[in-house]
Structure 1
Amino acid sequence: MRAVSPEVFLISRPEVDYVELAEYLRAVGGESWLQRVDESREGWNDGQNLAEFAGRTCYRSWEPGLNPNVTRVRSDQGEYLRNILASAHGSVLEHVNYTFALHNVSRVFTHELVRHRVGVAISQESLRFVRLNDIPFWFPEWAREDAELMKRATEMLDRMEEFQNWMAAHFGLDEDGVPFAEKKHRTSFMRRFAPEGVGTGLVWTANVRTLRHTIEARTAAGAEEEIRLVFNRIGEIMQEEAPALFGDYVVEDGAWIPIWRKV
């Protein structure tokens, strides 16, 4: 058994093609909004820019007069996006996607996470193909403080790990010439003897609308403790990454509570 802790890596964020965006804005008369884009774009946040761009497209609110119904436009991005959240205009947030690599999370965690299907993409490590030669396992702090529990749990996990390696030798999986199809067949059987708490990995992509909902739902007091830990970290990452889109949360006893809900 190998003790591990869940880890979160933000590996992909939106990237706006400002050349094409500029062509569109010239076509619709949105040059005044275009002027805000500095050539170096230093300090610009593509995720927030994309959300604002999508929102302004809906009302043609690049500047007053393009839409006769619009006589005033917000020039400050933070103010504009706060109004998007307050108005529950969440559809424009679906254009903005972030991708995370989640490392050493358990299959308990992934069984919970896959319940969030709208606005996400998931690629998970397959134990049909990936053979276990050790069992990475996360213990919460309260469990680590229980000496008798840890002794018994470690003994059981070590025995399961030993059995995984025994099966690999028994099936001759490392012998020369064993077809991959045979390895896959045996490995699929062997995973049945791994605990649901075994550490695994996945790539998880979600749009901002889904992220906001999932951070709130999975850090709530009644959520499973590992998923609370992971989404607390995701919340911290996103608050730093896109403060105008995630700055309205208040954290109380580990629960992330947004000012604007059901966006």
Structure 2
Amino acid sequence: MSAHIGTTVITGAAGRIGHTLRTALRADADRLVLLDRRPLQAEAANETCLKADLADLGALEDAFIGADAVVHLAGIPDEAPLPDLLADNVVGTHHVLEAARRTGVRRVVLASSNRLTGAYPIHHTVFPDEPPRPDGLYGVSKVAVEALGQLYADKFGLQVVALRIGSFEAEPTETRHLATWLSPRDLVGFTRAALTATGVTYTAAYAVSANTRRFWDLTAGQTQLGYRPLDNAADFAADFPDDDPFWTGGPQGGRYADPGYTLPHLP
């Protein structure tokens, strides 16, 4: 399935998700503008590669001129000291949204995270409108990212979609992924839908495959974005033990919710 996405900017384009999306969305775009702190090389005639830092609001403005949409992936992707997460994830996202506002970009797709609600127990199905229960400092930074997106939608009229990305892997690699896996095909499907869905003001949706054992509700993605995931981690269930301690009722974040995962990053 393809859809026209005009000129789309991807921040953090050098990462795993960025590489997957640039490859899949290339044919849908008039132009892809690929931003990263690391140097990138264009792989197609409609790709433009720029080296830029989220701290540089002016550079983001220059990169966004003429763009129809931004897919914002850049930032720290895991637990880290809070000052670092605030600088890269929160202030960086603020700069992306502000640059979009100043340059007239109509839609911004934010890479949020399932870790925003990782402290909920695994027996609880979480809907996107429930209160956040982050499993660590990284999750806290994504709470702020989503709040900024809501603010810019409410106050300045940006169309914002926050995708709460699951465990992005080619295939599940641990027991928790039987609930949280996001396949490459569904990553592309959710992102394409987030870029093209009509009637969007602000939407937060879990971006996770149609896993039988998932603990996140997918209604927002289906009704507001029009995407129903295709893959299911249950196809790989035989690779993992049924009696794994993860299923005994702990938090959805698994090891990410353990105090020891955050303690090394505290002052």
- Scaled by the length of structure 1, what TM-score is found? 0.21
- Greater C-alpha radius of gyration: 1
**Higher relative CO (CA 8 A, sep ≥ 6), structure 1 or 2?**
1
Structure with the higher fraction of residues in helix conformation: 1
